[in-house]
């Protein structure tokens, strides 16, 4: 159900059933179920990278494409990763935190072998149409690991990525 820009009503205008269905019913339905996508990725194996530049964690399975009407998307991700990993979100072809070489954030506790990484982003200024959001990462040094359902005890974590149009 697509969004229709609400009409501006004028005094004396006759409102038809079609008008109400389009501008009231359909728009309310749209607002109640805006474009959204949720990924809970059980990869049955961990992801690793030694890349010292940002690359997709998984360009096939940790990627969301939303076709939006407005220009604002709320996106979040949660992962468990080794303490040498740094994360960002690629929006179409631009990293969200491209102003910094080290992206959005790193694994929380550098003093331990692994830690949680979670972020929520309000992404504004998007154009109407299709947009792609991908989780990216790089290693500070050595081999970074993102746990993704390997089945190994104490590291059998599931990464999540979700996005919803909010305005």
Partner 1 sequence: MRELNVSLDAVHPAALDAALRAVLPGKAVGVSTYDPARPISIWLDDSATPDDEASAASLAAAHDPIFLSADRQNIAADGSDAASLTVSAPKPDAAPVTLLVAGTAVPVTLTDGVGTLSIVSADPTTIAVSVQNAANRSTDQLTIEAV
Tell whether residue 55 is a contact of partner 1 (CB under 8 A): yes
For partner 1, which stretch binds (CB under 8 A), given 41-49, 84-92, 104-112, 114-122?
41-49
Q: Which residue among 47, 133, 147, 157 contacts partner 1 (CB under 8 A)? A: 47
Tell whether residue 42 is a contact of partner 1 (CB under 8 A): no
Token readout for 62 is 């940790």
- Nearest residue to 119 (alpha-carbon basis) of 152, 157, 87: 87
Token readout for 132 is 């792609």
Looking at the chain, how many residues does it have? Answer: 167
Q: Which residue among 66, 86, 139, 163 contacts partner 1 (CB under 8 A)? A: 139
Task: Give the whole-angstrom CA distance, residue 59 versus residue 72.
Answer: 23
Q: Which residue among 52, 65, 67, 112 contacts partner 1 (CB under 8 A)? A: 52
- Nearest residue to 165 (alpha-carbon basis) of 127, 134, 135: 127
Q: Where do contacts with partner 1 occur on this chain (CB under 8 A)? A: 43-45, 47-53, 55-58, 138-139, 142-143
């Amino acid at each position: 159900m697509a969004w229709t820009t609400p009409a501006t009503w004028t005094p004396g205008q006759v409102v038809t059933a079609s008008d109400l269905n389009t501008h009231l019913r359909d728009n309310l339905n749209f607002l109640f179920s805006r474009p959204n996508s949720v990924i809970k990725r059980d990869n049955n194996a961990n992801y690793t990278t030694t890349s010292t530049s940002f690359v997709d964690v998984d360009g096939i399975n940790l990627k969301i494409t939303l076709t939006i009407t407005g220009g604002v998307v709320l996106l979040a991700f949660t992962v468990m990763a080794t303490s040498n990993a740094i994360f960002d979100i690629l929006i179409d072809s631009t990293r969200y935190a491209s102003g910094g070489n080290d992206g959005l954030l790193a694994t929380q506790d550098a003093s331990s072998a692994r830690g949680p990484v979670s972020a929520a982003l309000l992404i504004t200024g998007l154009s109407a149409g299709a947009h792609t959001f991908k989780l990216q990462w790089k290693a500070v040094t050595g081999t970074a690991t993102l746990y993704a359902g390997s089945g190994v005890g104490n590291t059998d974590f599931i990464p999540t990525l979700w996005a919803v149009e909010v305005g």
